[in-house]
Amino acid sequence: MANNQNARLERRKFFSDPILVSMIVILIVFLALFILYPLLMLLLDSVFTEGKVTLDVFRRVLSMQRFRKAFTNTLVLGFIVGLASTLIGLLFAYVEVYVKVRTKVLEKLFGVVSMLPVVSPPFVLSLSMIMLFGRSGLITRTLLHIYDADVYGLKGIAIVQTLTFFPVCYLMLKGLLKNIDPSLEEATRDMGATRWKVFTSVTLPLLLPGLGNAFLVTFIESVADFANPMMIGGSYDTLATTIYLQVTGSFDSTGAAAMSVVLLSLTVVLFLIQKYYLERKTAATLTGKASRERMLITDKSVTIPLTIFCTLVAAFVTLMYIMVPFGALFTLWGRNYSLSLKWFQYMFKTSGLIAFRDSIVLSLIAAPLTALLSMVIAYLVVKRKFKAKGFIEFVSMLAMAVPGTVLGIGYIRGYANGLFRTGVMQGLYGTGLILIIVFIVRSLPTGTRSGISALRQIDKSIEESAYDMGANSARVFTTVTLPLIKDSFFSGLVTSFVRSITAISAFILLVTPQYLLITCQINEQAEKGNYGVACAYATVLIVITYGMVLIMNGLIRIFGTSRGTGE
Amino acid sequence: MAKEKKGVRLEHISKIYQDPKTKKEFYAVKDTTLDIEPGTFVTLLGPSGCGKTTTLRMIAGFESPDEGEIYLGGEPINELTPNKRDTAMVFQSYALLPHYNVFDNVAYGLKIRKLPKSEIKQKVTDILRLVELEGMESRMTNQLSGGQQQRVALARALVLEPGVLLFDEPLSNLDAKLRVSMRTEIRKIQQKVGITAIYVTHDQSEAMSLSDKIIIMSKGKVEQIGTPREVYYRPSSRFVADFIGEANFLDAKVKEARGEKALIEVNGEEMEVNNYIGRKPGEEACLVLRPEAVLLADKGQLPCEVTLSTFMGAYQYYQVKAGEVTVQITDYNPVNKKIYETGEKAFLDFDTDGVYIL
């Protein structure tokens, strides 16, 4: 059958919209230049030595005892954290959806817990973990009088990462559990199954792909995490920290490139399984919406243990966050618990103000760009047909699987001497612009994802009608699409601001003395053992991010939900 | 009101789709040629999947034909994007812009055409009066009833004074009563404005009541084009006869054919009936009996036995067995007529001059 005319006409129509075409070209160039190219450079670096293709670098890296240890460490850690987070997340989700425990305190705690992944800088939990259980920890030393407590290493990272990532699992699984039709469970119950049997024969099998999904997402996060292993890992090195040390300690960036390729392959493979296999399976098994309210479990033998467990975990997490401002307010942690403002004063006297200014300014520039860009990508992916669509969707999602450290090394290898070491665009390296670009790349996938799911809700004929009335793509996008997904736009705005201002992994490698970032300051102070100052920075950072979230909610209330008043 | 009524011509249009599951390609529309006169109301009628919506969307520009050319007012428009075509569409889901009020929805296309503010206001006011929505300008679309939303969608398309107005099953989301009153209104407005209109529907009564001409489609092909009267009384195929109204089909054999008449044999009985499609002697054919065109009587053309007799109020509904075939009969206003009960023997009584073979 002849498809030529259709293809020709579609092409004609497509190219008669210059704004659309140039937008797509810009996007492709951006994605190729700032996501694909740095990764490609890592690969090239690790297989080319003096103009020859060889596996020497890989051989050298693989023979390093340190690297092999780090590789196993990373997998072990990821496995433990993935499993623990999924389990705790499942318990929380189950309690929320199935169990009747409507106490105000617990609801508040659940709210806090689900809020944490949004506002929390990544290493805050490590910081308070050290302050609570470290050598001069509040609990270990002051309360229990243990003087040689060792919180560093695998158990420290595992606990901290689990507490950091389980809220993500909780939110994912909550959504899935809500989609299980209660009549399925009632039917099996009616046929004589016990509650446990219902859970194992209905709920669990339906949820299984979702659990796998949650496990892999956390696994990837854990493997990619840099800040926590850096701070609380002690001698337990993971791939992310080893790569960092390979660059900053051994000045071996080719070796680091090869290691990055290994780490990247690991996360990308996991990501592909997660995205293209498990996510689809989840969608396939849990399609129906719950037909009506679920009868909540009131049986005390179920509710009491579950409630106690969840309350303890949630309370513990909350406690760890509360530790941070106190860490900044106590005169000397572990010795003198009188209140003082000296750490804050110290912070502002040294580089505090500059760090806040730089972090905030750079994040404020990056956030609207990210939000807009991700909405444009979402629009193109969901609403338009064109050849490069698959490329755009894939690359912008791929960025989710790229660990920050890997991206950082990629930028060093790719831009320190210009594009392909020719000196072209060399001026970019070391500027604030490259930091902004990394901010954008790091937050793009989440924004795009939320944009895509928001756009899928919108009947395509609404945009078609605007198109039919004479609007071109740019006009359709600005007058129809964007106003309809402004909730998603605003939340993308804030999420990317928060992610940018709390990010560290890629930036610690790229930041130059010219710019001071809050997160790098926290890391530096904590490494030096100045926990008071680190806590002071972290406190202000949490206040900023939390304030941003409040502003977002306010904005959405004003502009988002009310359906506008025209022009 | 329309600047210029335009005709639409489709020349050998084909559209190929790929089945998402089997990856097999198939013709959604196959080699379709149509001529739609300026100022007429034409309906594309057919069951779902017959290609009617695809045809409409190709005229609007949302889909590109794989073969053939589409003309609007004599100009080829294949290469134009929807926003450059002189068409306006009323969508099945209305597709009103939910963040705009009624006025802004109707004014949207005019603003794109950069008309002066005062002119926009005048036009919107006029058109809202036409669809009887004056005073509703500042309402948000979600504060309107289904019928009112439908009127906004219509006003929004009409105000652009397009060469041709396209309707994609616009009434299918309304309840039955409203559907009837809206379709009368659409027809009234179209005649008042004198615009060319192409209307897609699967509802035959909608097609009958609205159209100057009905285009009946099946499996991507045009089955018949004609006035409502023509397609009902002189269907060109069994598909059309079955799709428009109800029909009983009895196997018949053609014995002689003279002009538009033919002598046939049905269930052993001979009779002369209409032969519009020119069946030849010796051919197998079928006799078409509309349920309302047949009565039960003690004597008539064909013997039968009653298998079901139900009182429906407006009519007595029968199912009878004539030979091997079950025939449905609706006997209207049965108040003083003889009612046949299940199991009784009777005859099918019909006017042989009013029935035809296919």
Is the Cβ–Cβ distance between B52 and B64 less than 8 Å? no
Residue A562 — φ and ψ, nearest 5°?
-65, 135
Q: Are B41 and B187 in contact (CB under 8 A)?
A: yes
Cα(B229)–Cα(B251) distance, integer angstroms: 25
Size of interface A-B (CB pairs under 8 A): 109
For residues A497 and A506, give the distance between their C-alpha atoms in angstroms, rounded to a whole number: 16
Residue A257, in any domain of the structure: no
With respect to residue A93, please indicate whether it lies within any of the assigned structural domains. yes
Decide if the complex's ipTM is over 0.85.
no
Contact between A9 and B78 using a beta-carbon 8 Å cutoff: yes
A10 touches chain B (CB under 8 A): yes
Same domain flag for A235 and A357: no
| Residue A254 in domain | no
Predicted pLDDT at A567: 30
Residues A350 and A329 in one domain: no
Residue B152 and residue B144 in contact, taking contact as beta carbons nearer than 8 Å: yes
- Cross-chain Cβ contact A3/B16 below 8 Å: yes
Question: Which residue positions in chain A have pLDDT lower than 50?
Answer: 1, 562-567
The reply to whether A14 falls in a domain is yes
Same domain, A295 and A370: no
Q: Does A565 touch chain B (CB under 8 A)?
A: yes
Q: What is the pLDDT, as a whole number, of residue A245?
A: 85
> Closest chain A residue to B81 measured between Cα atoms?
A13
For A209, phi and psi rounded to 5 degrees?
A: -60, -35
Closest by CA to B52, choosing from B229, B248, B206, B209, is B206
Q: Does B136 touch chain A (CB under 8 A)?
A: no
The pLDDT assigned to B234 comes to 92
The last residue of one of the domains, among A280, A306, A334, is A334
Q: Are residues A330 and A470 in the same domain?
A: no
Instruction: Report pLDDT for A562.
Output: 42
Residues A328 and A388 placed together within one structural domain of the fold: no
| Cross-strand bridge partners of residue B285 | B252
A562 touches chain B (CB under 8 A): no
CB B101 to CB A565 under 8 A? Answer: yes
The answer to whether the Cβ–Cβ distance between B95 and A475 falls below 8 Å is no
Q: Is A469 on the interface with B (CB under 8 A)?
A: yes
Q: How far is A290 from chain B (nearest CA, A)?
A: 25
Q: Distance (Å) from the C-alpha of residue B180 to the closest C-alpha of chain A?
A: 24
Q: Say whether A13 and B81 touch across the interface (CB within 8 A).
A: yes
Select from A465, A484, A563 the Cβ nearest to the Cβ of B91.
A465
First to last CA, chain B: 44
Interface of A with B in 21-40 (CB under 8 A): none
Please name the member of A1, A6, A475 whose beta carbon is closest to the beta carbon of B65.
A6
Cβ burial, residue A12 (10 Å; 0-12/13-18/19+): middle
| B94, B153 contact by CB (below 8 A) | yes
What residues in A contact B89, CB-CB < 8 Å? 464-465, 468
Spell out which residues of chain B touch residue A461, defining contact as CB-CB under 8 Å: 91-93, 95
Residues in chain B: 358
Report d(CA B128, CA B137) in Å as an integer.
8
Asked whether the beta carbons of residue A469 and residue B112 sit closer than 8 angstroms, the reply is: yes
* A285 and A363 share one domain: no
Partner B contacted by A5 (CB < 8 A): yes
CA B324 vs. chain centroid, Å, equals 32
CB-CB under 8 Å, A3 with B91: no
The per-residue pLDDT for A285 is 65
Domain boundary among A334, A353, A373: A334
Residue B14: predicted pLDDT:
93
Tell me: do A95 and A222 sit in the same domain: yes
In chain B, residues with a C-beta closer than 8 Å to the C-beta of A3 are 16, 66
d(CA A549, CA A485): 18
Q: Is A527 found in the same domain as A439? A: yes
> Is the same domain home to A312 and A179?
yes
Kindly identify which residue of chain B lies nearest to residue A16, measuring between CA atoms.
B81
Each residue's pLDDT expressed in tens, for chain B with a length of 358 residues: 446 789 999 999 999 988 888 888 899 999 999 999 999 999 999 998 899 999 999 999 999 999 999 999 999 999 898 998 999 999 998 899 988 999 999 999 999 999 999 999 999 999 999 888 989 999 998 889 988 999 999 999 999 999 999 999 999 888 888 889 889 999 999 999 899 999 999 999 999 999 999 999 999 999 999 999 999 999 999 999 999 988 999 999 999 998 889 999 999 899 999 999 989 999 999 999 999 999 999 988 999 999 999 999 999 999 999 988 999 999 998 888 899 999 999 999 999 888 999 9
The pair of three-digit structure tokens given for residue A214, joined into one six-digit string: 């949650």
Q: Does an H or E element contain A53, and which?
A: strand A52-53
Fill in the DSSP letter of residue B75.
Answer: E
Sheet with B25-36, strands from edge to edge, namely B25-36, B8-18, B67-72, B75-76
Greatest alpha-carbon pair distance for chain A in Å reads 83
- Other Cβ atoms within 10 Å of B117 Cβ, number: 10
How far, in Å, CA of A278 to CA of A271, rounded?
10
Same domain, A348 and A329: no
- Domains of chain B are 8-238 (3.40.50.300), 246-357 (2.40.50.140)
**How far apart are alpha carbons A183 and B48 in whole angstroms?**
33
- On whether residue A59 sits in a domain, the answer given is no
Interface probe for B, chosen from A9, A11, A457, A468 (most Cβ of B below 10 Å), is: A468
Domain closes at, from A334, A354, A373: A334
Task: Determine, yes or no, domain membership for A49.
Answer: no
Beta strand ranges found along chain B (DSSP E):
8-18, 25-36, 41-45, 67-72, 75-76, 87-90, 164-168, 196-201, 213-218, 221-226, 248-258, 261-266, 269-274, 284-289, 295-297, 302-311, 315-322, 325-332, 345-349, 356-357
Whether residues A22 and A115 fall in one domain: no
- Classify each residue of A398-435 as buried b or exposed e, where b means 16 or more C-beta atoms within 10 Å of its C-beta: bbbbbbbbbbbbbbbbbbeeeeeeeeeeeebbbeeebb
- Kindly determine whether residue B160 and residue A17, on different chains, have CB atoms separated by under 8 Å: no
Check residue A426 and report its DSSP letter: G
For residue A320, give how far its alpha carbon lies from the nearest alpha carbon of chain B (Å): 44
Number of domains within chain A? 2
Residue A308 and residue A221 in one domain: yes
Task: Please count the CA atoms within 13 angstroms of the CA of B291 that sit on its side-chain side.
Answer: 18
Assess if residue A471 is contained within a domain.
yes
Distance CA A454, CA A110 (A): 25
The alpha-carbon gap from B187 to the nearest alpha carbon of chain A, in Å, equals 22
Any domain includes A481:
yes
Chain B residues touching residue A385 (CB < 8 angstroms): none
Domain interval for residue A509: 1-44+342-567
**In this structure, what CATH number is given to the domain that contains residue A462?**
1.10.3720.10
